[in-house]
Amino acid sequence: MTTRRRHWLMKSEPDAFSIDDLARVGTAPWTGVRNYQARNYMRNGMKPGDGVLFYHSNCNPPGIVGTATVASLPYPDPTQFDRSSHYFDPKATQEEPRWFLVDVAFERKLDRMITLEEIRRHADDLGDEFALIKRGSRLSVMPVSAAQWKLLLSLE
């Protein structure tokens, strides 16, 4: 069994990129993050081998649907330079990119979704620092402690 360095939760809307899409392609760049805190987690915190909880957001119901692994070191998100991309950033340059990403590799699809409602029922056990259930938190990438990782996967 692989020893994880760190753990993360990464959100994706299933209409844009689902766990089934990741399973089909195997490994994919996590493009389009346009929040500085989420970018900093990817750029400064993520390393190959880190564990990822794959979370479907903006759907009914939202929840954790699978696990993945960080598969690359961070590198500039190419969509920031693509004028035809929804994620184009006119202030980004090749010399000074603003947005970074990591590649993510499929690990497994959960036997059943762990819904946001279920996760909220365990808020006391997850602790105040668990960003997913903090009021007003809309981060698409967030750290998960080893204890939170273990608890969340035990809900499967």
pLDDT value, residue 15: 96
Residues 92-103 as b/e (b if ≥16 CB within 10 A, e otherwise) read beeeebebbbbb
Decide if 111 contacts 92 (C-beta within 8 A). Answer: no
pLDDT, average across residues 11-25: 97
CA nearest neighbour of 69 among 12, 27, 109, 16: 27
Q: Show me where the domains of the chain are located.
A: 7-154
Distance, CA of 12 to chain centre: 7
Distance, CA of 61 to chain centre: 17
Considering only the C-alpha atoms of the chain, give the largest distance between any 2 of them, rounded to a whole number of Å: 46
Concatenated DSSP letters for 98-132? --EE-EEEEEEEEEEEEEHHHHHHTHHHH-TT-GG
What separation, in Å, do the N-terminal and C-terminal C-alpha atoms of the chain show?
Answer: 19
pLDDT value, residue 135: 79
Query: For residue 104, what are its two tokens?
Result: 């993510």
pLDDT value, residue 4: 65
Decide if 155 contacts 122 (C-beta within 8 A). Answer: yes
pLDDT, average across residues 84-92: 96
Decide if 141 contacts 54 (C-beta within 8 A). Answer: no
pLDDT value, residue 94: 95
pLDDT-derived band at 2, boundaries 50, 70, 90:
low
Q: Mind listing the pLDDT tens digit for each residue in 111-154? A: 999 999 999 999 999 998 899 998 777 889 999 999 999 999 99
The phi, psi pair for 15, rounded to 5°, reads -70, -25
Q: Mind listing the pLDDT tens digit for each residue in 35-85? A: 999 999 999 999 999 999 999 999 999 999 999 999 999 999 999 999 999
Q: Mind listing the pLDDT tens digit for each residue in 23-33? A: 999 999 999 99
Q: Give the architecture-level CATH label for domain 7-154.
A: Roll (3.10)
